[in-house]
Amino acid sequence: MKELLDIIPCHRIPERCLHIKGKPMPLCTRCFAILIGYLFTPIALIAEIAIPLWLPFILALPLLIDGFTQRWKWRKSTNSLRFLTGLLFGVGQSLFISSIVVYAVDWLS
């Protein structure tokens, strides 16, 4: 399991991780939420959800704004905000992937 986690580019800063029984999870809150958002991919593929390709980029904006404003030390983010922006990003990527697949299948048919 450790080797699998090592390939995920996550900083794993303990105060930015969710805690279970007082121990930090092996991924930060944002990365964990992105992975949860990825679970939407099979649902979107089965439902053949095809959305405008600009929508996933809109869903990525909150994460980018939260991440960069925190990095530039303009403000401090919270784990709740990190989770929400990560989830939106993960769902957006899922929708992007499923839309590309649906458009490719339609184009090839």
Burial of 60 (0-12, 13-18, 19+ CB in 10 A): middle
Q: What pLDDT is recorded for position 88?
A: 97
Exposed e or buried b for every residue in 25-41, given b needs 16+ CB within 10 A?
Answer: ebbbbbbbbbeebeebb
Q: What pLDDT is recorded for position 107?
A: 92
Average pLDDT over residues 19-38: 90
pTM for this predicted structure: 0.85
Range of the domain at 100: 29-108
Taking alpha carbons only, the member of 63, 66, 68 closest to residue 93 is: 63
Can you give the C-alpha Rg of the chain in angstroms?
Answer: 16
Residue 15 belongs to a domain: no
Average pLDDT over residues 14-23: 85
Residue 22 belongs to a domain: no
Token couple for 14:
């303990």
Residue 58 belongs to a domain: yes
Average pLDDT over residues 20-40: 90
Using DSSP's 3-state secondary structure scheme, residue 85 falls into helix
Residue 74 belongs to a domain: yes
Residue 6 belongs to a domain: no
Residue 21 belongs to a domain: no
Q: How many domains does the chain have?
A: 1
Predicted confidence (pLDDT) at residue 1 exceeds the cutoff of 60? no
50, 102 Cβ separation under 8 angstroms: yes
